[in-house]
Amino acid sequence: MIFINTSRDSVVIYPESQKIYANISTNSLGHIKKILETKLRPFALSLIKSELSSLKKQYNFDYHNVTVRNQSSRYGSCSSRGNLNFNWQIIFFPYPQFRHILLHELTHLKIKNHSKTFWDQLAIYDPDSQKHNLWLKKEGTKLFLF
Ligand SMILES: [Zn+2]
């Protein structure tokens, strides 16, 4: 993320080079947060949806709605009706960890708890599951913007 001080606010995303240019005209954190969230949240949702649909094709998952929120304490959740919700800021994570979060919630579609069966199933989708889980616990929230 590169911040440039200008008179007009704009946020430009370059997905290919994984760069986000934020032109911000204010030093107010609340304002900066609003500008970034307005632009990056819809982008995050489309990124998450596209990755979910490729995982769906690969493993035959069956989910309903997908939404994004800014819930600093959680990365994602899966409702009993099969609706998936993710913290939009997981798009700042390295790809394997990002994918791991999606697979975690997708695994909950069939196994609601965190039993051994759940972790074994998740490890089938993501062989580095334990490593990624540990990284998410230790490093994950450090990459959140706010
Ligand atoms: Zn879980």
Work out the burial of residue 86: count CB atoms within 10 Å of its CB; fewer than 13 is exposed, 13-18 middle, 19 or more buried.
Answer: buried
Structural domain spans, the chain: 2-143
CA–centroid distance, residue 18 to ligand 1 (Å): 28
Is residue 129 over pLDDT 90?
yes
> pLDDT tens digits for 44-97?
999 999 999 999 999 999 999 999 998 767 899 999 999 999 999 999 999 999
Q: Which residues of 87-97 are buried (b: 16+ CB within 10 A; e: fewer)?
A: bbbbbbbeeeb
Amino acid at 77: S
Spatial CA neighbour of 55 closest among 141, 129, 126:
126
d(CA 4, CA 24): 6
How is domain 2-143 classified at the CATH fold level?
A: Zincin-like (3.30.2010)
pLDDT computed for residue 104 by the predictor: 97
pLDDT at 73: 75
Q: Between 34 and 126, whose confidence is greater?
A: 126
Average pLDDT, the chain: 91
pLDDT higher than threshold 90 for residue 4: no
pLDDT band at 7 (very low <50, low <70, confident <90, very high): confident
Grouping H, G, I as helix, E, B as strand and the rest as coil, residue 75 is coil
Q: What is the pLDDT of residue 24?
A: 82
By three-state DSSP, how is residue 63 classified? coil
Taking CA atoms, 29 is separated from 2, 32, 35, 145, in Å, by 16, 5, 10, 11
Residue 37 near residue 20 (C-beta atoms within 8 A): no
What pLDDT sits at residue 32?
Answer: 86
Tokens 């946020």 -> residue = 11
Q: How far is the CA of 113 from the centre of ligand 1 (A)?
A: 7
- Region 104-128: mean pLDDT is 97
Of residues 58, 61, 44, the one with CA closest to residue 105: 61
Q: How far is the CA of 142 from the centre of ligand 1 (A)?
A: 20
Band (136; pLDDT cuts 50, 70, 90): very high
* Cα(39) to centroid(ligand 1), Å: 28
Supply the pTM of this predicted model.
0.89
